[in-house]
Amino acid sequence: MTPDQVALVQDSFSKVVPIADVAAELFYGRLFEIAPEVKPMFRGDMKEQGRKLMATLGVVVTGLTKLETVLPAASALAKKHVDYGVKAEHYTPVGAALLWTLEKGLGEAWKPELADAWGTAYSTLSDFMIAEAYGQAQAAE
C-alpha cells in the first residue's frame, strides 16, 4: 500500500467509527445475503460480534502505517477462524461485504481511489491471513 492509500483508509475509517453499530449490522446483513453458507458459523450475540469486528478493523486500520505490528495478531486470528469452519474462499465474500458496507456508510465520499485503497488494504491482509491459515498455494488463488 502507498502512504496515500493508507491515509485514505485511515481518514475514511474515522468517519465510520461514529456509525460503527450500523456499519456492523450492514456488513453482516450483506455477508449473509451474498454468502448464506457462513451464517451458521455465527452462533453468538451479533451485536457483540459487530463490536468485535469494528474493534478489529480499528486496530488494523491504525496499524496500516506499520503493518508488521498487526501481522502477528492477523495470523493468530486467521488460524482461529479455521476452527470456526472458515475456508479460504470465504474471504472473497467478506471483502465484498466490507467494501459494500463502506460504500453505503460513506455515501458520496466513496470515490474510486478510496475503493481502490480499501480493496488494496483488504487484499493485502486477506492474502496474508489465507497464507497463514491454509498455506501459500491457496493465497495465490
- The per-residue pLDDT for range 102-127, each reduced to its tens digit, is 999 999 999 999 999 999 999 999 99
- What type of residue is 108? E
CB contact at 8 A, 81 and 87: no
The per-residue pLDDT for 44 is: 85
CATH number of 109's domain:
1.10.490.10
Instruction: Identify the band that residue 130 occupies on the pLDDT scale cut at 50, 70 and 90.
Output: very high
Cell numbers at residue 32, please?
Answer: 449473509
Q: What is the pTM of this model?
A: 0.91
Number of domains forming the structure of the chain? 1
5-51 per-position pLDDT tens digit: 999 999 999 999 999 999 999 999 999 999 999 999 998 899 999 99
- What type of residue is 64? L
Instruction: Identify the band that residue 136 occupies on the pLDDT scale cut at 50, 70 and 90.
Output: low
- What type of residue is 42? F
Cell numbers at residue 46, please?
Answer: 451479533
How far, in Å, are 5, 6, 25, 78, 99 from residue 68 at the CA level? 17, 14, 30, 15, 23
Quote the domain boundaries for residue 90. Answer: 3-139
The per-residue pLDDT for 141 is: 53
CB contact at 8 A, 101 and 30: yes
